Chains A and B, each alone.
Chain A
Amino acid sequence: MANPLINFSLILLQAVCVIAVAALLFSRSRYFTDVLEGLATWKSRLVLIIFFGALSIYGSIIGINTSGVIINVRDLGPMVGGLACGPLVGLGSGIIGAVYRFSEGGFTALACSINVTLAGLLGGLIYLKKGRFPTVAFTVIFAVLFEILHMVLTVAFSRPIDLAFAAVKQAVGPMVVANGVGILVFAFIITNVIAERETKRERDSYQLELQKKQAELAVAADIQKSFLPERIPTIDGFEISATNIPAREVGGDFYDFIQQDGNLQFLIADVSGKGVPAALFMALSRIIMRACQAPNDGAAERLRCANNMIMSNSGSGTSGMFVTLFFAKLSEKDRRLVYSNAGHNPPLLFKASTGSIEALEVTGPVLGMMEEMEYEQRTIALESGDILLLYTDGIVEAMNAKEELFGLQRLRSSLSSAKRLSAQEIQDSILRDLKQFTEGEEQSDDITVMVIKAEW
């Protein structure tokens, strides 16, 4: 005859397979989900008690009767029920298992009944103490120790003691192995399900957060677009064109037009930083530039006012943000342009008469750094065919794959070669040259261009 330890263990392992299926069913059931989420109802608890109770009865039936001792996996159901669902389920299913075992009789009936009840109760108490299903290793060790206790109690409660001792001697090995393996399967499946749910929950909440952020950014982008002029104004004797291409959903570049009694005021600006902070500061700067509008003040006064207002309103000292801004007033009547430049990239002026390009240099510091800054203003006359090109960093500092910058030189030649075109075409031509240069490299900064051309 083969080694009885191996023989019994194999039969009990067959039971473990049934238990594995039970474990899968249980772990995917709505009742266990309820327990995991702390939403277990009396009904789901009752279902679980019956389930693990039935598993315990099955563990008895599959058992191998040897010298009046049934080698079995009766304890397994209530043990898992307790560990996974708490003392109520553990105890309840344990009592079911105990009643069945007691009804079978035999000289270890009392001891075994006590044992199976205790298995459920102890499992439940561990759950209560830990607040969740323990680790796989802990669970297996618990099962092994419990089976040893089971044997000790059987000896203690069964008479005649020498018979009990003999039975236990034969049963201890197979019972420890079978229950140990059984609970390993259970614990493995349950912890897997718990981990899976955890991951899914994290992923879901992350995705929800992402979706929310994206929706918010889309709204922010819409709002920011509304801060840019809806259409380009028309003014007699000039062609005007402008565009803004943010690098992200929202950006810090902007331009604006204000039309007033035969005059056109326009500005281009670039806020420090990126993303939402820059977008908010952009909105503030735009409103302040409009608020500082006073009928008789020049361009320099406008920037002085804006700078002081930004300093006092935004607490720029705390936000640490600033904005470069070029502001100009163009008179329709005599084509004179009065401008003031607060640290912005000097706009380029193509002179049709000479074919040369001048730069409208900075006439004061950037806005938002320090209070009480002074600005100068300059006046120039625009003549037929002259082209004024305003732009932001995003153009001259656009980079290609070789890490070369587009640069002022390329911008100048791009402007020169487009001199005969209309304002819109000049803008398109410059953007096309830029695109050709960067060859599909990702745009890292906002791009804004404005072209004003004096008609012939």
Chain B
Amino acid sequence: MSKMEILHSHIDNIPVLSVSGKIDAMTSRDLEVALVDLINQNKKILIVDMANVVYLSSSGLRVLMASLNELRKGDGDLLLASLQPFVKDVFSLTGAIRFFSIYPNPGEAIKAFKSKTDDL
């Protein structure tokens, strides 16, 4: 029984984690492993596509925030895409919405990231 699944893909060489299911105390450990793995591979920009995430617990939010901090330390970023209403509520209710760059879908996230790097 798996309550959460993670699919790995790339758009323009940027890793995209497509998460589906429930991110709770237990499954957030798997998400943490997946994110830390990519960070350890020296990836600077990660996209988490949450289109199919139906539940996000505080421990899941902690994992995302810890990864965000870790990436920003190295001038990277964690971009979130396709937040469903319930998940979006978690982000706004906890104030975490202020820390993250959130986009309607992974394509928009990449476009925004690219235009930012072009400016530099």
- Chain A interface (Cβ < 8 Å from any Cβ of B): 272-273, 316-318, 320-322, 324, 342-343, 345, 361-362, 364-366, 369-370, 373, 393, 397, 399, 403, 405, 444-445
Contacts and interface: CB of A to CB of B under 8 A. Distances in A.
Given A393-B25, A399-B25, A366 B96 contact: yes
Given A272-B65, A322-B69, A365 B99 contact: yes
A324 B96 CA distance: 11
Specify the main secondary structure of chain A where it touches its partner. Answer: loop
Contacts of B65: 272, 322, 366, 369
10 contacts: A316-B69, A317-B69, A321-B69, A324-B58, A343-B95, A345-B58, A362-B94, A362-B95, A369-B96, A403-B26
B96 to A, nearest CB: 6
A318 B24 contact: no
A273 B57 CA distance: 16
B94 to A, nearest CB: 5
A272 B61 CA distance: 11
Interface in B48-95: 57-59, 62, 65-66, 69-70, 72-73, 93-95
A393 B94 CA distance: 14
A397 B66 CA distance: 18
A399 B1 CA distance: 15
Interface of B: 1, 24-26, 57-59, 62, 65-66, 69-70, 72-73, 93-96, 98-99
B98 to A, nearest CB: 5
B24 A397 contact: yes
Specify the main secondary structure of chain B where it touches its partner. Answer: helix
A370 B25 CA distance: 24
B57 A397 contact: yes
A397 B59 contact: yes
The 4 A-B pairs at the shortest CB distance, nearest first, are namely A365-B95, A397-B25, A320-B69, A343-B94
Nearest to A319: B69
A316 B58 CA distance: 20
B59 A365 contact: no
A272 B1 CA distance: 28
A393 B98 contact: no
A320 B93 contact: no
B73 A320 contact: yes
Contacts of B24: 397, 405
A365 B91 CA distance: 10
Contacts of A369: 65, 69, 96, 99
Contacts of A370: 98-99
Contacts of A361: 93
A364 B25 contact: no
Contact of B58 (A273, A317, A342, A393): A393
B69 A366 contact: no
Contacts of B95: 342-343, 362, 364-366, 373
A36 to B, nearest CB: 41
Contacts of A445: 25
A393 B59 contact: yes
A316 B24 CA distance: 25
B32 to A, nearest CB: 11
Given A322-B65, A343-B94, A362-B94, 18 more contacts: A272-B62, A272-B65, A320-B66, A321-B66, A321-B69, A322-B66, A343-B96, A345-B58, A362-B93, A364-B95, A365-B94, A366-B94, A366-B95, A370-B99, A397-B24, A403-B1, A405-B26, A405-B57
B99 A272 contact: no
Contacts of B96: 343, 365-366, 369
Contacts of B69: 316-317, 320-322, 369
Nearest to B96: A365
Residue among B25, B94, B95, B99 with the highest chain A CB neighbour number at 10 A: B95
Nearest to A320: B69
Contacts of A365: 94-96, 98-99
A7 B70 CA distance: 77
A272 B66 contact: yes
A410 to B, nearest CB: 14
Contacts of B26: 399, 403, 405
B8 to A, nearest CB: 23
Contacts of A405: 24-26, 57
B93 to A, nearest CB: 5
Nearest to B27: A403
Residue among A342, A345, A366, A373 with the highest chain B CB neighbour number at 10 A: A366
A256 to B, nearest CB: 21
Nearest to A376: B95
Contacts of B73: 317-318, 320
Contacts of B25: 393, 397, 399, 405, 444-445
A371 to B, nearest CB: 11
B27 to A, nearest CB: 10
A324 B66 CA distance: 13
B98 A373 contact: yes
Contacts of B59: 393, 397
